[in-house]
Amino acid sequence: MPINNKIYEVFARFKYEEPLHYVGNVTAPDDDLAKVYAFNTYNEWAWIEMIAVPRETVVHVIDPA
Q: What is the pLDDT of residues 7-61, one digit of tens each?
A: 999 999 999 999 999 999 999 999 999 999 999 999 988 999 999 999 999 998 9
Q: Is the pLDDT of residue 63 over 90?
A: no
Comparing 64 with 30, which gets the higher pLDDT?
A: 30
Comparing 65 with 28, which gets the higher pLDDT?
A: 28
Cα–Cα separations (whole angstroms), residue 4 to 17, 40, 43, 49:
36, 21, 25, 27
Does domain 6-57 fall under CATH 3.10.20? My reply is yes
Domain boundaries along the sequence of the chain: 6-57
